[in-house]
Structure 1
Amino acid sequence: MKAPSGLLPGTKSVPFAVGLAAHGDRTAVITADGPVSYRELAVRVDATARRLGRERRLILLVASNTVDALVVHLAALAAGHPVLLVPGDHPEAVRSLTRAYDPDIVAHADGGRWVLDERRPASAHTLHPDLALLLSTSGSTGSPKLVRLSHENLQANAESIAAYLDIRDTDRAAATLPMHYCYGLSVVHSHLLRGAAVILTGLSVTDACFWELFRTARGTSLSGVPYTFDLLDRVGFEAMDLPHLRYVTQAGGRLAPDRVKRYAAMGRAAGWDLFVMYGQTEATARMAYLPPELAATRPQAAGVAVPGGSFRIQPLADWPGEATGELVYTGPNVMLGYAECPADLGLGRTVDELHTGDVARRAPDGLYELIGRRSRFAKILGLRIDPQRVEAMLEKHGVTSCCAGDDDELVVAVTGAPDAVGRTEVRRLVTAECGLPARAVRVCVLAELPRLATGKPDYRAIRELTRPVPEAPVPGPGAAASVPAAVDLCGLYARLLDRDDVTEDSSFVGLGGDSLSYVEMSLHLEDALGRLPDHWHTLPIRELRQPSAPPARRRNGLRRRTLEMSVALRAVAIVLIVGSHIHLFWVKGGAHVLLGVAGYNFARFHLTSADRRERLRNVGRSAARIAVPSTAWLALMLLVTDDYDLTGVLLLTSLLGPNDGFWFIEVLLYMLLAVAALLAVPRMDRAERRFPFALPAGLLALGLVGRYALFGLDDRMHVPLVATVFWLFALGWTAARAATVRQRLLVNAVVLAAVPGFFSGEPAREAVVMAGLTLLIWVRNLPSLASVNRVAGVLAGSSLYIYVTHWQVFPYLEDRSKLLATLASLLVGIAYAALATRVATRWRSSHRARKASLRARRAA
């Protein structure tokens, strides 16, 4: 596209944003929904630029890693409108900066639509001709202090990065970092400059879907801050097969030298390069890089200045030493200056060189090394945090504090038990101020703040306060309305999952949630939030505060909802099982559908990004939640009836025979233990992370050996029954990992081929199983109502307990009324589920109290 001709004379634009169409039909953006060519992107940018109007206006863009947000951003740069980028996941920052700068247009997502909220036809501000972009300084999310960047800054920085990374038009870079962050934005800019493609996604590197997208898109580069590399270690990045990966870049904070060396060696072995980089928002993004060939021998160095830039060392009196002092940078990417109010938007250049605040030395080999900070600023998880500002903010809330931080954590020391706010509230205030995740903020309550002999705070002592402090109780769902919504959700998670370590960055699966607790949690969340986003169980709590789906509508006074297919199948299946056993009707096959659902939920809730040991602990907890209440009920029945023996109580009849009605419980338990044993092998754990679809598909093929009795096995014999039905569990697991239509078709083909003939002479039963498994593969949600969801949720959440107890309920009532026997069986199971959950919760609380008491006695 060409720059719009109707703008005011003298309006400037960013060349790479204007020249998108020159790259023709090359792929510009790749998302999970498919590719977008440069020609298509240019058309959309041009149309949006025309919508932005002929007069220059200040545009506040609520940024996200989506094509819509990118189009608005590029349209503004091409048409000369200054853009203020604000994180889309931080509503307080949006409100704060909207109040502070009174933008002329606010661009944001509204449900499934993208909205340009035009607040006035012409700008209320004086906008300097050079002003192109406004970014928050690292860590100052929501602060009125912004970095003013020019069109030349953006173009020069993109050209510099493209040069030293040797970005080619065949490259495809994963945009793993948020667009409002200067590092993430520079990845987008530098690749669009060269006609390369950007893989645009909001998925975390811990999500298997991210790697599926990266491989499908033939990704060539990956970027991350130090925390990203922690996550890469966790998901087994070293063992991944990424044949097109050319290089990995790291910035946003210091990566420990030993890890730089390790990743450099990893790259050499796999055929990709590691670029360690150094930058600040005030320099548009990057000032230095370490050539990949030096990463193994000089891992502690920041490197050399980027093309077009230069460094000098300004001596400091309190940092003696030859070639040591504050690092000062000069280059075309140095900002125009800061803005602290709307009047500053009319300023031109007020800064010619950038005093970084970092203390550095120039080594004999010409590389620069960072050795400290002039001020107390800390860079935590890539965000630059001003502890003094945090202290001032807390002082306004009546809290006396001292703060200090390192690369991973901000320690907030407060005196006594704050009167105005509690420990949880202190953490919430700090995270809202800094944009840090709650896990990176540690609140320590001290009798007195540590002081030096001079009376000044002893910040070194504060940094050493690494001992965890018990958190204040988290409010439950009945808390007062003044309690923030985020805290309420934390309380809900803490109560339903019986955890005392819930933070805003916790997720359902990360806290060990499984299929038994999933239903109850989803019902409570729907009441609190309306319709839930897909994959809510993998999202951190802070993201659930802004569900991507629109609120549930009402029709004829009823709230319209959706019901997840796996929950619907569990609810229907348990009713079919009980009703068929009582002969109220005769629709068999429900138990075998539940085996597929069990495999599906195993993949969703247990095969998370957690490390191998945590995965195994979570599987163990789920197995215990099946075995303990089942054994307890059977043991009670052994005492009061003659229907069972010790083999049944110990859940061994599937192995020792003769088989009884509890075969489903036993088989499910055995399969969980078997796959846990398999994934306990480190190599198999890495294989599952690397091949999330292929591994269960292989297990499915192995399970078909038992299905077809190729070695004399028969599903009507008792030894071993699990071998003949394991393929159903593996099929559900594979269905959960099927990310493409082709993969789902393959799984569905197995259903249509393997189910017929499995139940000899029972075509109706086979039809039920085929229908249930096909729905599980293809349908994620069903249209529903809140009332229907509640009934289905209770039945699904209690299905295990109903299955265990109904054998001892219906014989006393079926002769009188089969319908009454069915209803009574369901109600008794539901009651037993509530009792078992309450007993388990009290036992865990008592166990924690005993452990705490023991620790206290040992400490004394």
Structure 2
Amino acid sequence: MRFAARLDVHGDRLAVATDGLELSYRELAARVDAAARQLGDTRRLVLIAASNDLESLVWYLGTLRAGHVALLVPPGHADSLADAYDPDVVLSPAGGAWQPDERRPGSTHDLHPDLALLMSTSGSTGSPKLVRLSHENLQSNAEAIAGYLGVRASDRSATTLPMHYCYGLSVVHSHLAVGAGLILTELSVVDACFWDLFRAHAGTSFAGVPHTFDLLDRVDFASMELPGLRYITQAGGRLDAERVRGYAQLGQQRGWDLFVMYGQTEATARMAYLPPDLAASHPHTVGVAIPGGSFSLERRADDPPGVGELVYDGPNVMLGYADTPADLSLGRNVTSLRTGDLARLTDAGLYEIVGRRARFVKVAGLRVDLQQLEAVLAGRGLISCCAGTDGRLAVAVEGGHDADEIWRFVMERCGLPGHAVDVRTVVEIPRLSTGKPDYQAVLALSERRPADPAVATAPAGDPARLRDLFAELLNRPDATEDDTFVELGGDSLSYVEMSVRLEHLLGQVPANWHTTPIRDLVPSPRRRLFGGRTAETSVLLRAAAIVAIVGTHAGLFSVLGGAHVLLAVAGFNFARFRLTSAGRLVRLRQQLGSIARIAVPSMVWIAAVVVVSGTYGIANIALLNGFLGSPTWDSRWHFWFVEILVYILLGLAALLSIPWADRLERRFPFGFALGLVAAGLLTRFEVVGLGVPHMLPALWLFALGWAMARATRVWQRLLLTAVVVATVPGFFGNPSREALMIGGLMLLLWTASVPSPALASRLAGLLASSSLYIYLIHWQVYPHLVGVDRGLAVVASLVAGAVAWLVVRAVQRRLMR
């Protein structure tokens, strides 16, 4: 019987939920039947460029329903596999509409009657080698998975993995087999909208590869409230045993199960699973064979005691491989699946993978056949040695070849992200005394990624080069091309330098580059005034404000109000960088880290000044002068700006650590900020006083900046304009100072960036990046030089602060390395 042939038997149960649409099984079956009729009765090879959307699902099921053979591919590989297999029909969202591209009325292929589905071997090397699967394979594996997971008709699983990937497809199959629901989405688990969708449709499960769990850690999954969650599944590569134990224990505490699983595309999907009650005590194993399947160990003489190649038998074992279109006529030529993995059977009766017999590695969730890759490179006249780990592919090529060109070829051939591929040219391939290639030496060659010639010479907009830039500036060697600046922990202190470097590489950076995945940052095709260079308004305001502060203090000119504009900029940046989609506890850790990057250097510098000159006191070192100092304005108030900023940030971190406040801010981001503006106005007009002289009105300005960052509509900006115009006048009793404040706030609210010469942009970036250090140090620099020349005093203060920042940054990076 064809898989999913009787979807309508599940009636009005929920089949598919997407953002804004729900379909019952009866409605889904009607759409699938319509797609099947459109494809016709003549059996053909149908290529489907599948994404996690409703159209992909309907056409895939319609292809199976009509008895055609589905070739399921990722959109990016559709052209190469179409060239290799010459499908009769191509289905893709070309032009935004799904319409079959019928290349011929019948079929040019001899299709075996058992053949139902063709899939890539986990995306190994981009070769045309495919796995041939039957309807029996699909049905038996779906039923086995649904059985050991205990999938219920009331369950709803979110599609966290691509449908063209066997693991992601197995989620679809196992739920359709028992009438359960699917929450179709391509959102990442780091996106708050994913969890909103999951809760809105009463999600009960989701699947993850090891990288998914890295992302879950990043968004503080452990603190999330997910009342409907019943279980999580993990496969697609080995998850560290301690992390398995940790997530299993978390599940026990929170009322859900963790299923660790093992499989291959050649087995349709799953071969083994670890019962949840054993995950915490046996996290290093893959468990037992799935229902209907069995394992055996095939030993060789040189295998360690008790270890052999894991061999699987079951109804889900593929028919065989296809290397050319002619192979589509073949029937079953594989009965037992030799996995290529070395395993042992533990005393608990569980299987443990201890190594690989074949030379495969899994990189970025894709399986790479190292021997085949070497053969492919040999076909291009290259002598190579390929090695790797689960995470990195290292290629050494003998001779003076172009490493950049080889890197691009390997990356495209294997379908891997650039940062996961390292190509080195060598005089000779490293070898052992036996003459065999020294794979460990090849791996050692690639340990220092920044020296990779491929990355060094990659184009400005190349994702690998950009990823390395993010990794370097944010001290995050684990950065991937799917990460964003905010997800990697970037803040206002690192934002300026990053934006300047990106502008140098890309020309003009997107307005929301800090929340854009690295791989989506591309060079701007437009060239505008000043050669297409722009500077962000918040950066220019920080640079201008610090110059105004130092120049006014040194008596070179009198421009007052800069520090108060800086408070609004600080609130603006707080909303952009510290209010991420991450979970509450991750947000809290990021906020405390940001506070430390302000407070620690301030306390260290003030302490050094106290030791050397005795100018300040213990209250200054502790940043407590606002509470313990005299109400009379004197030198001990020099650091009022740093103190009030730390107080505000600590108070907001405490507020947002409260679950109800965190939820309220996420649901009503602009309204929440506006509420803080209202609270701040109580201190601005001295309705409320909390015993911190000179300082509490700053909360109003910080909250105004926060609200400006959250104002996405014209009416919201107009409302904030009215608030500024109504509340700033009378604050100082100095019209020129208040006019400067209003001007700065209006620029921040209405203008994202302004055209700027490249040199001016870089200078502004340097001053803005080092503004904290300039503010701290200038008190000890300009007094010694004003008698010589006030302009020199200002310049020396700016230079001293900038140099201090550059030195601290260099030391931090050296320590991180």
Q: What is the TM-score of this pair, normalised by structure 2?
A: 0.72
Note the alpha carbon deviations across 1:231-265, whole angstroms, 9 max, x for none: 22233222222221111111112223222222211
Q: Distance in 2 between matches of 1:150 and 1:115?
A: 26
Aligned with 1:693: secondary structure? helix
Note the alpha carbon deviations across 1:153-187, whole angstroms, 9 max, x for none: 11221111111111112212121111111011111
- Note closer, same or farther for the CA distance 1:157–1:789 as it changes in structure 2 (3 Å cut): farther
Q: Distance in 2 between matches of 1:239 and 1:848?
A: 31
Map of 2:3 onto structure 1: 14
Counterparts of 1:114-129 in structure 2, within 5 Å, are: 114-129=98-113
Letter matched to residue 68 of structure 1: E
Q: Distance in 1 between matches of 2:507 and 2:330?
A: 49
Note the alpha carbon deviations across 1:91-135, whole angstroms, 9 max, x for none: 3x3332121112222222346444543333322222222222111
Q: Is the 1:264–1:296 Cα contact (8 Å) retained in structure 2?
A: yes
Letter matched to residue 434 of structure 2: T
Letter matched to residue 32 of structure 2: V
1:360 positional shift: 2.5
One of 421, 427, 437 as aligned partner of 2:402? 421
Q: Distance in 2 between matches of 1:475 and 1:441?
A: 10
Letter matched to residue 345 of structure 1: L
Note the alpha carbon deviations across 1:330-368, whole angstroms, 9 max, x for none: 222111110001111122222122121222233454322
- Note closer, same or farther for the CA distance 1:475–1:331 as it changes in structure 2 (3 Å cut): closer
Answering whether residue 30 of structure 2 is matched by residue 53 of structure 1, we say no
- Note closer, same or farther for the CA distance 1:169–1:720 as it changes in structure 2 (3 Å cut): same
Note the alpha carbon deviations across 1:186-214, whole angstroms, 9 max, x for none: 11121122222222222222233322332
Q: Distance in 1 between matches of 2:131 and 2:196?
A: 36
- Note closer, same or farther for the CA distance 1:444–1:604 as it changes in structure 2 (3 Å cut): farther
Map of 1:65 onto structure 2: 52
Letter matched to residue 274 of structure 2: L
Q: Is the 1:234–1:610 Cα contact (8 Å) retained in structure 2?
A: yes
- Note closer, same or farther for the CA distance 1:841–1:387 as it changes in structure 2 (3 Å cut): farther
Q: Distance in 2 between matches of 1:115 and 1:624?
A: 61
Map of 1:105 onto structure 2: 89
- Note closer, same or farther for the CA distance 1:48–1:535 as it changes in structure 2 (3 Å cut): farther
Map of 2:206 onto structure 1: 222
One of 143, 167, 172 as aligned partner of 1:159? 143
Letter matched to residue 222 of structure 1: F
1:708 positional shift: 1.8
1:420 positional shift: 1.8
Between 296-305 and 460-469, the greater mean CA deviation after superposition: 460-469
Map of 2:415 onto structure 1: 435
Answering whether residue 435 of structure 2 is matched by residue 451 of structure 1, we say no
Answering whether residue 178 of structure 2 is matched by residue 201 of structure 1, we say no
Structure 2 gap ranges (5+): 545-563, 603-619, 732-737, 772-798
Map of 1:329 onto structure 2: 312
Q: What is the TM-score of this pair, normalised by structure 1?
A: 0.69
Answering whether residue 696 of structure 2 is matched by residue 720 of structure 1, we say yes
Q: Distance in 2 between matches of 1:800 and 1:480?
A: 26
Aligned with 2:451: secondary structure? coil
- Note closer, same or farther for the CA distance 1:347–1:501 as it changes in structure 2 (3 Å cut): closer
Answering whether residue 388 of structure 2 is matched by residue 412 of structure 1, we say no
Answering whether residue 341 of structure 2 is matched by residue 358 of structure 1, we say yes
- Note closer, same or farther for the CA distance 1:267–1:683 as it changes in structure 2 (3 Å cut): farther
1:570 positional shift: 10
Map of 1:316 onto structure 2: 300
Q: Distance in 1 between matches of 2:451 and 2:807?
A: 21
- Note closer, same or farther for the CA distance 1:453–1:850 as it changes in structure 2 (3 Å cut): closer
Q: Is the 1:65–1:201 Cα contact (8 Å) retained in structure 2?
A: yes
Q: Is the 2:344–2:352 Cα contact (8 Å) retained in structure 1?
A: yes
- Note closer, same or farther for the CA distance 1:308–1:426 as it changes in structure 2 (3 Å cut): same
Q: Distance in 1 between matches of 2:580 and 2:498?
A: 9
Q: Is the 1:105–1:118 Cα contact (8 Å) retained in structure 2?
A: yes
Answering whether residue 352 of structure 2 is matched by residue 369 of structure 1, we say yes
1:679 positional shift: 8.7
Answering whether residue 268 of structure 2 is matched by residue 273 of structure 1, we say no
1:303 positional shift: 1.5
Map of 2:12 onto structure 1: 24
Aligned with 1:403: secondary structure? strand
Note the alpha carbon deviations across 1:13-33, whole angstroms, 9 max, x for none: 3235x41573325252233x4
- Note closer, same or farther for the CA distance 1:525–1:412 as it changes in structure 2 (3 Å cut): closer
- CA RMSD between the two structures: 6.0
1:412 positional shift: 1.8
Counterparts of 1:697-716 in structure 2, within 5 Å, are: 704-709=678-683, 712-713=688-689
Q: Distance in 2 between matches of 1:200 and 1:125?
A: 33
1:610 positional shift: 8.4
Map of 2:774 onto structure 1: none
1:283 positional shift: 0.6
Map of 2:29 onto structure 1: 42
Q: Distance in 1 between matches of 2:64 and 2:15?
A: 20
- Note closer, same or farther for the CA distance 1:542–1:128 as it changes in structure 2 (3 Å cut): farther
Q: Is the 1:134–1:149 Cα contact (8 Å) retained in structure 2?
A: yes
Q: Distance in 2 between matches of 1:149 and 1:296?
A: 34
Map of 2:372 onto structure 1: 389
Counterparts of 1:380-529 in structure 2, within 5 Å, are: 380-396=363-379, 400-406=383-389, 408-412=390-394, 414=396, 419-422=400-403, 425-443=405-423, 449-460=429-440, 462=442, 467-472=447-452, 486=463, 504=481, 507-509=484-486, 510=488, 512=490, 516=496
Map of 1:832 onto structure 2: none
Aligned with 1:708: secondary structure? helix
- Note closer, same or farther for the CA distance 1:541–1:103 as it changes in structure 2 (3 Å cut): farther
Q: Distance in 1 between matches of 2:113 and 2:674?
A: 63
One of 77, 95, 104 as aligned partner of 2:79? 95
Q: Distance in 2 between matches of 1:398 and 1:293?
A: 53
- Note closer, same or farther for the CA distance 1:395–1:220 as it changes in structure 2 (3 Å cut): same
The count of residues paired between Structure 1 and Structure 2 equals: 747
Q: Distance in 2 between matches of 1:110 and 1:683?
A: 45
Q: Distance in 2 between matches of 1:466 and 1:75?
A: 47
Q: Distance in 2 between matches of 1:204 and 1:681?
A: 28
Map of 1:232 onto structure 2: 216
Q: Is the 1:391–1:401 Cα contact (8 Å) retained in structure 2?
A: yes
Aligned with 2:353: secondary structure? strand
1:672 positional shift: 6.2
Between 46-55 and 391-400, the greater mean CA deviation after superposition: 391-400
Q: Distance in 2 between matches of 1:61 and 1:493?
A: 35
One of 669, 690, 693 as aligned partner of 2:666? 693
Map of 1:346 onto structure 2: 329
Q: Distance in 1 between matches of 2:601 and 2:68?
A: 58
Answering whether residue 71 of structure 2 is matched by residue 84 of structure 1, we say yes
Aligned with 2:198: secondary structure? helix
Q: Is the 2:573–2:706 Cα contact (8 Å) retained in structure 1?
A: no
Q: Distance in 2 between matches of 1:42 and 1:571?
A: 58
One of 219, 223, 228 as aligned partner of 1:244? 228
Letter matched to residue 31 of structure 2: R
Letter matched to residue 688 of structure 2: G
Map of 1:542 onto structure 2: 519
Identity, % of aligned positions: 45
Aligned with 1:253: secondary structure? coil
Aligned with 1:278: secondary structure? strand
Counterparts of 1:594-673 in structure 2, within 5 Å, are: 597-603=572-578, 673=646
Note the alpha carbon deviations across 1:406-448, whole angstroms, 9 max, x for none: 3x333525267x52223x5554443333333344445566665
Note the alpha carbon deviations across 1:481-507, whole angstroms, 9 max, x for none: 9x9955686799899999999875564
1:136 positional shift: 0.7
